[in-house]
Structure 1
Amino acid sequence: MLDYQIRGLNFEITEAIDAYVKKRLSRLEKYLEDDQTYVVRVKLSSQKSDRSFKAEVTVQLPDLVLRAEDAEEDLYAAIDFVADKLERQIKKYKTKINRKLRKQGIADLHEVESDIPADTADSDDELEIVRKKTVELKPMDPEEAVLQMELLGHDFYIFMNAENDLPAAVYKRHDGKYALLDTDN
């Protein structure tokens, strides 16, 4: 069962929008276990600068966080694209889990029946680690880590946060700003 938390920024969520979001995202239920409730966080916003709408959806599963966002001139189109992205993500995840379990020789998958054929994933979907690199975590503050990241020309940088002596990472967001991923002890 899906528990929806729908909110709008810069406009009000009407009953029609609420119903449309629930209808489009309810397709995910066929991939989820019936005896659990999953929280679906939906944030819809109106971008006044370019007159578009942005839809962001996050679904917390026990072993996975599904997240998708899209911006379109039409709110309903943005919702459609996000729903399609989430469905592709969950199909890809379920296919990989099923393949992994089959390779291990487990006959009973204890999975919810799904209509995903075993051969739906392309070879592009395989997660292949092509390089391994070891890094020394140097103590520094997040601002220094951003500078190091920029100097190296990378999209992210892992370091030891000098403020709490725990591993952390900084990365460049899609909007060009920076974000900090801090760890918990």
Structure 2
Amino acid sequence: MDIVITGRHTQIRQKFRDVAESKMNRVTAIAPDAQRVQIVLTHEGNPRQADSAKRVELTVIAGKTVIRAEASSADEFSALDLALDKLTLRLRRARDRRKNHRRGLEHVPMPMDVEPEQLPERVQAPNPDNSAQLDAMASDLGPGESVEVQVGDTPIVIRRKLHIADPMSIDEALYEMELIGHDFFLFVNKETGRPSVVYHRHGWSYGVFEIDTADHAKQAGK
């Protein structure tokens, strides 16, 4: 398994590199098919955030599966331990799920709450007078390609990226969201064909948004 360690706003000490590489044995013990693990150490320079000055992000790539975890602490070694604990828990969940599927056991879906909630305020659109910005945002992208556009004279930067993914069920989307450790996950619902988002609300409560056009909804209702 390849281990890649990088630093953001900090230098990687050899001691941290040695400790981190030795602790990755926990990853290979649970996920022997893991091909690569990325470790990113970030230093927060704000003295008011001394208790969380070091953040460690762990990303494991095993085939098409990507599992992430991160944690912050006052020093890089405790942050590494906290992030690794989260990562191993998610790795075990992924391993157990694969075992259940091989045995033909039905995966019990997590409880869902699909009541809509208020969306965050919309980000200001690019200045319509700036044709170059609009052309960049509207241009066709290839798989994995991205484009970043600054909004007028503001510090706002909009990043657009094309990601190719197979349609999946709501239950599968929840599973993927837990693996990467995010509070939301964008996917295409294979049952409806609609772009959808699952998100974590509180406790074991989740929500799902589906996007459709009025014309398509009318046609589907016929």
Q: TM-score, normalised by structure 1?
A: 0.58
Name the CA distance, whole Å, in 2 between partners of 1:84 and 1:178. Answer: 34
The answer as to 2:30 corresponding to 1:31 is: yes
Name the CA distance, whole Å, in 2 between partners of 1:180 and 1:62. Answer: 25
Q: Which residue of the partner structure matches residue 127 of structure 1? A: 109
Identity of aligned residues (%): 18
The answer as to 2:66 corresponding to 1:90 is: no
Q: Which amino acid counterpart does residue 182 of structure 1 have in structure 2?
A: L
Q: Which amino acid counterpart does residue 23 of structure 1 have in structure 2?
A: S
Name the CA distance, whole Å, in 2 between partners of 1:179 and 1:126. Answer: 36
Name the CA distance, whole Å, in 1 between partners of 2:9 and 2:112. Answer: 44
Q: Please report how far the alpha carbon of residue 165 of structure 1 lies from its aligned counterpart in structure 2 after TM superposition.
A: 8.9
Q: Which residue of the partner structure matches residue 67 of structure 1? A: 68
Name the CA distance, whole Å, in 2 between partners of 1:11 and 1:58. Answer: 19
Q: Which residue of the partner structure matches residue 162 of structure 2? A: 182
Partners of 2:141 and 2:161 within 8 A in 1? no
Cα gap change, 1:100 to 1:184, in 2 (>3 Å): closer
Q: Please report how far the alpha carbon of residue 96 of structure 1 lies from its aligned counterpart in structure 2 after TM superposition.
A: 1.1
| Alignment RMSD | 3.5
Q: Which residue of the partner structure matches residue 150 of structure 1? A: 120
Deviating above 6 A after TM superposition, structure 1's stretches of 4 or more consecutive aligned residues are: none
Q: Which residue of the partner structure matches residue 115 of structure 1? A: none
- List gaps (5 residues or longer) in structure 1: 106-124, 134-147, 153-160, 167-176
After superposition, the C-alpha distances for 1:114-152 in whole angstroms (9 at most, x for unaligned) are: xxxxxxxxxxx953374789xxxxxxxxxxxxxx95359
Cα gap change, 1:84 to 1:77, in 2 (>3 Å): same
Q: Please report how far the alpha carbon of residue 31 of structure 1 lies from its aligned counterpart in structure 2 after TM superposition.
A: 2.1
Q: Please report how far the alpha carbon of residue 65 of structure 1 lies from its aligned counterpart in structure 2 after TM superposition.
A: 0.2
Q: Which residue of the partner structure matches residue 116 of structure 1? A: none
SS in 2 for 1:103: coil
Cα gap change, 1:179 to 1:88, in 2 (>3 Å): farther
Q: Which residue of the partner structure matches residue 19 of structure 1? A: 18
Q: Which amino acid counterpart does residue 127 of structure 1 have in structure 2?
A: P
Name the CA distance, whole Å, in 1 between partners of 2:158 and 2:140. Answer: 19
Cα gap change, 1:128 to 1:29, in 2 (>3 Å): same
Name the CA distance, whole Å, in 2 between partners of 1:38 and 1:165. Answer: 28
- List gaps (5 residues or longer) in structure 2: 123-136, 143-156, 166-222
SS in 1 for 2:12: coil
Q: Which amino acid counterpart does residue 31 of structure 1 have in structure 2?
A: I
